[in-house]
């Protein structure tokens, strides 16, 4: 056996333990995720074409399977994106995503909510951003929130994924109500933002649209732009499907204000995420979130003392 073969074997092997299956790779240990409640099973998938319309880059959007799925594409000419046909105040927003393969440094796939088109100076956002990495097949997951235009303080947290997001579809979910915001990956909570007196000002509070986009973020996505998008590997194709969008639907005639909440499209409640199952994490979900944050989170703004001389107050709540 050659030295290179020995090195390859040492770089990736499996250890069995009493608690989980541990895969050791060149990036470090990747643990088997714990079992959690499948919130996505409580809602019904809807075709992409039923809930979303073109945001930009129409020539780089391809509907598939009668609109049940869509590809959004980045090439040297343009990125592309979709936006929800409706605006929501609170809700459950989920999509299954399969990311582009190969060298993807500088490429960003975003699944997020925003109202910057209506409130340009005090907008809200709830962000999933998947950041292409300079290493082949590796992606970084970033979450962020802004409330009432609080964009001077970035509230980013970053995670390594415990799976290869280019090989299959994985679910990315935003749960947003008056109690908390929860970011979930394959139903495992990775972050919870609790709505309380400390977080009140920065907590998203106004109706938002749902977006999903793929774009060139060479200037900042990988080490401040050290690794820009390499269009020799274009086109970069992200596949989307299994959209679950259930929320407090805002009237189209007065979508820039709270107004009155219309009935959800498929559920009997006017606010489908207000019930007891959605106001706090269960024990299983808490265990899952602690696992994700302990094993896979590698950056939190709350611990970035070089960036913030005074740590934002919600970090100490």
- The per-residue DSSP string of 127-142 comes to EEEEEE-SSTT-EEEE
Asked if residues 88 and 250 have their Cβ atoms less than 8 Å apart, the reply is yes
More confident site: 135 or 3: 135
Convert the pLDDT of each residue in 188-243 to its tens digit.
999 999 999 999 999 999 999 999 999 999 988 777 778 899 999 999 999 999 99
Residue 187 in this model has a pLDDT that exceeds 70: yes
Q: What percent of the chain has pLDDT over 70?
A: 84
In this prediction, residue 13 has a pLDDT band, given cuts at 50, 70 and 90, of very low
More confident site: 27 or 315: 315
**Arithmetic mean of pLDDT, 257-277:** 59
Catalytic positions, written as ranges:
125, 129
Convert the pLDDT of each residue in 301-312 to its tens digit.
999 999 999 999
**Arithmetic mean of pLDDT, 65-94:** 97
Residue 251 in this model has a pLDDT that exceeds 90: no
pLDDT at res. 118: 95
pLDDT at res. 11: 41
Lowest mean pLDDT among 78-82, 121-125, 132-136: 132-136
pLDDT at res. 22: 53
pLDDT at res. 5: 47
| Domain 33-316 CATH class label | mainly beta
| Structural domain boundaries in the chain | 1-32, 33-316
pLDDT at res. 222: 78
**Arithmetic mean of pLDDT, 129-142:** 85
Lookup: tokens for 35: 């079992």
How many other CB atoms are there within 10 angstroms of residue 3's CB atom?
A: 7
Cα(117)–Cα(98) distance, integer angstroms: 28
E strand intervals along the chain: 13-16, 21-25, 28-31, 52-56, 61-64, 69-74, 80-84, 88-98, 107-114, 125-132, 139-146, 157-160, 170-176, 180-185, 188-194, 209-216, 236-249, 297-300
45-to-42, 171, 176, 296 alpha-carbon distances in Å: 10, 12, 18, 28
In this prediction, residue 316 has a pLDDT band, given cuts at 50, 70 and 90, of confident
**Arithmetic mean of pLDDT, 265-292:** 81
**Arithmetic mean of pLDDT, 165-174:** 97
pLDDT at res. 154: 93
In this prediction, residue 277 has a pLDDT band, given cuts at 50, 70 and 90, of confident
């Amino acid at each position: 056996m050659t030295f290179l073969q020995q090195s390859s074997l040492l770089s990736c092997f499996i250890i069995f333990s009493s608690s989980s299956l541990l895969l050791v790779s060149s990036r470090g240990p990747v643990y088997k995720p714990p079992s959690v409640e499948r919130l996505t099973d409580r809602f019904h998938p809807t075709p992409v074409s039923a809930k979303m319309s073109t945001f930009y880059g129409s020539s780089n959007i391809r509907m598939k399977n009668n609109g049940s799925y869509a590809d959004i594409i980045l090439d040297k000419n343009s990125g592309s994106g979709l936006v929800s046909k409706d605006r929501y105040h609170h809700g459950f927003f989920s999509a299954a995503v399969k990311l582009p393969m190969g060298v993807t440094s500088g490429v960003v796939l975003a699944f997020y909510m925003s109202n910057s088109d209506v409130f340009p100076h005090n907008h809200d956002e709830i962000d999933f951003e998947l950041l292409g990495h300079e290493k082949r097949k590796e992606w970084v997951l970033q979450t962020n929130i802004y409330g009432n235009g609080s964009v001077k303080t970035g509230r980013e947290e970053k995670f390594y994924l415990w799976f290869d997001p280019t090989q299959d579809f994985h679910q990315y979910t935003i749960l947003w109500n008056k109690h908390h915001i929860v970011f979930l990956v394959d139903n495992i909570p990775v972050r919870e933002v609790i709505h309380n007196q400390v977080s009140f000002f920065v907590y998203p509070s106004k109706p938002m649209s749902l977006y999903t986009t793929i774009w060139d973020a060479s200037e900042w996505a990988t080490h401040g732009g050290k690794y820009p998008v390499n269009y020799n590997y274009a086109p970069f194709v992200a596949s989307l499907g299994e959209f679950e969008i259930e929320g407090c639907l805002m009237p189209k005639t007065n979508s820039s204000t709270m107004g009155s909440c219309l009935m959800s499209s498929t559920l009997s409640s006017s606010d489908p995420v207000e019930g007891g199952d959605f106001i706090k994490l269960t024990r299983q979900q808490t265990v899952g979130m602690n696992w994700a944050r302990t094993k896979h989170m590698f950056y939190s703004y709350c611990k970035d003392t070089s960036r913030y001389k005074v740590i934002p107050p919600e970090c100490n709540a």
